[in-house]
Amino acid sequence: MKKLRALTVLGFLLFFCSILLPFMSWIWNYGGLFHHELYWSFGVYIQASDPALPSFNWYFQNAYYFQDYWSKASYMGPAIPIMFVAQILTLFASLASFFISKKRMIGLVPVLVCPLIIASIFYLVTIFPMNRTLTSPSYGLGFWLTFASFFLFLAVFIMNHRLEKNTASPINADTKP
């Protein structure tokens, strides 16, 4: 049981790091400026530099968060706010499954919601190049940590299910004390 709790904490920490780290990185050239953009479900950070400037200084830097970001990224559709809500739901469900280990169905929530987040990232990476130049984005570390945490949540759910199944079956159901 302690190993399951440790795996749940590890899955929670990996998933928390996947939220803090960008899920997509984009480097592209537009109008002689090199743009570098980092995307999270709650914000975007954009840097642009002019290679003609001495010491390759940043030409501008912008950051947009939450509602401001979601309204400016409306061409991406509702995938980003849905992904943010799914991430928060997964965090709370994994915490709840740690503290309420007797309820197996709470542990099912991260197992079901993580694929929604992964599908949202796939969707964003496939539609995003259609709206920009011919370069394509790369998956960030946040995307890969979401995969790792999903497999940890799945392993914990399966092991918890088997453990409950083994402890629920009585040895001698016919005998009465």
Token pair of 82 as six digits = 């849905």
Q: Which of 85-99, 120-134, 162-176 has the highest mean pLDDT?
A: 85-99
Residue 134's pLDDT is what? 55
Distance of CA 138 to the CA centre of its chain: 15
Residue 39, pLDDT > 80, answer yes
Measured N-to-C along each axis, helices 79-99 and 104-127 cross at an angle, to the nearest 10 degrees, of 160
State the residue for tokens 């399966």.
Answer: 158
CA-closest candidate to residue 93, choices 163, 42, 151, 153: 153
Q: Residue 48 CB: number of other CB atoms within 10 A? A: 19
Residue 172's pLDDT is what? 47
Distance CA 123, CA 39 (A): 14
Q: What is the mean pLDDT of the chain?
A: 81
Q: Which of 1-5, 12-16, 100-104 has the highest mean pLDDT?
A: 12-16
Q: 3-class SS at 35? A: strand
Q: Is 1 exposed, middle or buried (0-12, 13-18, 19+ CB in 10 A)?
A: exposed
Residue 63's pLDDT is what? 84
Distance CA 159, CA 2 (A): 12
Q: Domain 2-162, what architecture?
A: Up-down Bundle (1.20)
Residue 91, pLDDT > 60, answer yes
For the chain, give the percent of residues with pLDDT over 90: 29
Note if the pTM is more than 0.85.
no
Half-sphere exposure in the Cβ direction for 29 (13 Å, CA): 3
- List Cβ<8 Å contacts ≥24 apart for 29-32: 29/133, 29/135, 30/133
**In the chain, what are the domain boundaries?**
2-162
